[in-house]
Amino acid sequence: MRTERNNDTALGRRGFLKSTGGLILGFVIPVSGRAAAPAPASPNAFLRIAPDDTVTVMVDRLEFGQGVHTALPMLVAEELDADWSRVRAELAPAGDAYKDPLFGIQMTGSSISVAHSFTHYREIGARARAMLVAAAAERWQVAPASCTTSAGTVIGPGGRKARYGALADAAMKLPVPAAVQLKDAKDFQRIGKPTGRLDARAKSSGKQQFGIDFSLPGMKVAVVARPPVFGARVRSLDAARARAMQGVIDVVEVAAGSGGRGVAVIADGYWQAKQGRDALVIDWDAGAVDKLDSGRQLRDYRALAATPAPAATSISAVYEFPYLAHAPMEPVNCVVDLHADRCSVWAGVQFQTFDQTAVAAAAGLKLTQVTLHTMMSGGGFGRRGVTTSDDLVEAVNVAKAYGRGPVKIIWSREDDIKGGYYRPAHVHKVDIGLDGNGDVLAWNHVIVGQAISAGTPFESVLIKNGVDSTTTEGIAEAYALPVKLTVHHPKANVPVLWWRGSASNHTAFVMETLVDEVAHAAGADPVAYRRKLLGDNRPRHLAALDLAVLKSGYGKKQLAEGRAWGVAVHGMSGSVVAYVVEASVEQGVPKLHKVTAGVHCNLAVNPLSIEAQVQGAVLAALGTTLPGAAITFRDGVVEQGNFNDYTVARLPDMPHVDVFIVPSTEPPTGMGEPGLPPLAPAFANAIFQLTGKRLRKLPFELG
């Protein structure tokens, strides 16, 4: 019942862009895997070396906190032998040159950015270095083999030196080498070294421009009133009060997401637009759409999951997981400058290929007439990866209706929490049979939840035999268990989307708490029992687990009174994260004090980013355990609206986190998401040690 992503696409590399003002190097990667013909002059550049020695690397992903704005330039700089102090980064616009080498679309997600670009970006640097060396050798009339490079300089016989900036114009006129020799890992000077982020100074000083900060001369701001029930339409509208308000320019009805209709108030600024939106009197027609009720849905899900337990069942458990909002710090926003023959869009998006195509269709333009600028984003956790591009299409519709210049559409926090996309609600039912030695004889596992991939461009790949792998990922992938898996995908009038950790954000909780429960039933230490189940077939899981255990002092260190250990290990995106945590229960409230992480992500390109990713994942996962961390529906309407009634973890909740990385020189695997799934089960396992109570729900309920 598993669906595996196809990562076997062969890579063809051809086509380089030459331009004045420095060396610009890039290449097109064909989706089909066949070698591409030389590309015509087009914005396929990845690397720009200016006369002042500044090296600018185009980052073909979205940077929204995960660190690719630094990691990808590190890969180029390593093979280029660049002077790191002169390296800069820019986010690339939508374009064929920037499509993922294996997936064939420009995207950020599934923790693939560094893993898929590891060779890709290093080859860009290596080819540029070879061209710079050739230019210097030609200038000095020496053999290229007699030259070396260091810190942005070509060094020739007799100690002659030439800076890259002085060679760039000549280098760009030379042929691009068809093949290059990449460095051995033992020779890395930048890769693998803790490196401060290129965007850290701008972000910490407030100078970084995010999508929500961007503006154009004459730009107006729109705020949209969207239906309270997904798919509802406007029955009647009274906009008189809104139109009469100072600063309000126009009120227009537009198509909104999920098949509904909305009303946009266009004004001189955000506050005027929001005040105008709040003054609208709208009678919504929701008669033709289903109105979800969370209580009824939970009963229905439990009924679907309620298969008869086997006769020899030793453990029977039902788990419940609510809808979750993504709640990134920066809400959704977009600037559209629409003309009769062209359209420019500025937005932080995860799927540039889909988004550019959707904008062109909505605007009635050719793809070549649409420029999509990728903006730095304040978080996402999956929210900016909408394959239907609802947000951008709505923004284009507003711009078309307005028709008098550029428009910025801004979602408020309440708009996004009440009318965005959500991690699906799930119910798991598991019945486990054990023998007298505590070994698992049977594991019957039922999952009920909406299929995220249904209706997306990924459906044919991710849904096999009616089962969406974005629901089942993380089940029976690490441990040698006789799992029989059944999946139900009921439909609901709620738009769903991947949330950080994909399916693993709920499957890992089920698997790791149950493995802990089985270990307890067998009278075994939870770490020893996991080692037994992992056996010799999961050496990376074992390495991560052993490292976390060693560094935490588990089994050797005496914990403070009232504290207990909790353990969990989980793999996704090719990486493995193991946690050993220390927790307590204070006046009936669970408290997480310390987290020790063992991480196996193969080669850590930037260990500082790995540490930051794990720390951020710990806080995000901790948030899912806190009271109020749930989206609920009543009569089709989301009951939460902001952080006062939708809980996210805050800095006072943050435990002490130590991150340790298993040394490796193998090509890197993904780390954007793997740190999240095992945290909540490790915390829950510690609570069991303190209370004897097995937790079956997120968020936690101890009562």
Nearest Cα residue to 454 out of 439, 466, 436, 437: 466
Hey, is 569 helix, strand or coil? Answer: strand
**Residue 598 confidence (pLDDT) above 50:** yes
The band of 242, judged by pLDDT with boundaries at 50, 70 and 90, is very high
Contact yes or no for 155/96 (Cβ under 8 A): no
The Cα 513–Cα 524 span in angstroms is: 14
Q: What pTM does this model have?
A: 0.93
pLDDT of residue 25: 61
CB neighbours of 422 closer than 8 A, spacing ≥ 6? 323, 324, 325, 326, 494, 495, 496, 497, 499, 631
- Residues 492-501 have a mean pLDDT of 96
* CA distances from residue 56 to 17, 46, 51, 52, 116 in whole angstroms, order as listed: 15, 8, 12, 11, 20
Contact yes or no for 454/414 (Cβ under 8 A): no
Contact yes or no for 648/624 (Cβ under 8 A): no
The Cα 242–Cα 280 span in angstroms is: 6
- Residues 303-314 have a mean pLDDT of 88
- Residues 247-265 have a mean pLDDT of 91
Residue 159's CB: how many other CB atoms inside 10 A? 6
Backbone angles phi and psi of 221, in degrees to 5: -120, 135
The Cα 147–Cα 214 span in angstroms is: 45
- Residues 56-61 have a mean pLDDT of 96
Residue 91's CB: how many other CB atoms inside 10 A? 20
Which long-range contacts does 451-457 make (Cβ < 8 Å, 24+ apart)? Answer: 451/489, 452/424, 452/496, 452/497, 452/498, 454/489, 455/388, 456/387, 456/388, 457/354, 457/387
Nearest Cα residue to 64 out of 351, 460, 447: 351
pLDDT tens per residue across span 341-353: 999 999 999 999 9
Backbone angles phi and psi of 629, in degrees to 5: -85, 65
pLDDT of residue 72: 98
- Residues 126-132 have a mean pLDDT of 94
pLDDT of residue 32: 32
Average per-residue pLDDT for the chain: 92
Higher pLDDT: 257 or 81? It is 81
| Three-class DSSP labels, 373-384 | EECECCCCCCCC
**In the chain, what are the helix, strand and coil shares in percent, each to the nearest 5?**
30, 25, 45
Partners of 569 in the β-ladder = 578
The tokens of 67 are what? Answer: 């660190």
Q: Which residue bears the tokens 């999509």?
A: 372
Helix 504-521 with 679-691: angle, nearest 10 deg: 30
Which long-range contacts does 546-549 make (Cβ < 8 Å, 24+ apart)? Answer: 546/598, 547/578, 547/598, 547/599, 547/600, 547/660, 547/662, 548/578, 548/579, 548/580, 548/596, 548/597, 548/598, 548/660, 549/578, 549/580, 549/598
- Residues 326-341 have a mean pLDDT of 97
pLDDT tens per residue across span 403-415: 999 999 999 999 9
Ranges of beta strands (E only) in 289-342 are 313-321, 324-325, 333-338
Partners of 57 in the β-ladder = 47, 89
Residue 295's CB: how many other CB atoms inside 10 A? 10
Sheet holding 248-255: strands in order across?
248-255, 261-267, 220-225, 407-410, 333-338, 343-347, 370-374
Contact yes or no for 25/17 (Cβ under 8 A): yes
The Cα 584–Cα 566 span in angstroms is: 10
The Cα 678–Cα 579 span in angstroms is: 7
Report the range of poorest mean pLDDT among 10-14, 155-159, 255-259, 564-568.
10-14
State the sign of the Cα–Cα–Cα–Cα dihedral 510, 515, 518, 523: negative
The band of 604, judged by pLDDT with boundaries at 50, 70 and 90, is very high
Contact yes or no for 401/254 (Cβ under 8 A): yes
Q: Look up residue 267 and give its amino acid.
A: A
pLDDT tens per residue across span 156-176: 999 999 999 999 999 988 988
pLDDT tens per residue across span 369-383: 999 999 999 999 999
Q: Look up residue 4 and give its amino acid.
A: E
The Cα 247–Cα 249 span in angstroms is: 6
Contact yes or no for 94/355 (Cβ under 8 A): yes
**Residue 21 confidence (pLDDT) above 70:** no
pLDDT of residue 388: 93
pLDDT of residue 307: 86
- Residues 24-42 have a mean pLDDT of 37
Ranges of beta strands (E only) in 233-303 are 233-238, 248-255, 261-267, 281-285
pLDDT of residue 39: 38
pLDDT of residue 24: 59
pLDDT tens per residue across span 425-458: 999 999 999 998 889 999 999 999 999 999 999 9
Alpha helical stretches, state H, 11-107: 68-80
State the sign of the Cα–Cα–Cα–Cα dihedral 642, 648, 654, 658: negative
- Residues 385-390 have a mean pLDDT of 94
pLDDT tens per residue across span 107-117: 999 999 999 99
Q: With left for phi above 0 and alpha for psi between -120 and 50, is residue 344 left, alpha or beta?
A: beta
pLDDT of residue 580: 98
* CA distances from residue 649 to 30, 619, 621, 638, 655 in whole angstroms, order as listed: 42, 6, 8, 20, 11
pLDDT of residue 38: 34
The Cα 646–Cα 414 span in angstroms is: 10
The percentage of the chain sitting over the pLDDT mark of 90, rounded to a whole number, equals 89
Contact yes or no for 469/3 (Cβ under 8 A): yes
pLDDT of residue 311: 77
Residue 663's CB: how many other CB atoms inside 10 A? 11
Contact yes or no for 322/424 (Cβ under 8 A): no
The band of 16, judged by pLDDT with boundaries at 50, 70 and 90, is very low
Ranges of beta strands (E only) in 328-477 are 333-338, 343-347, 370-374, 407-410, 422-423, 426-434, 440-449, 463-464, 467-468
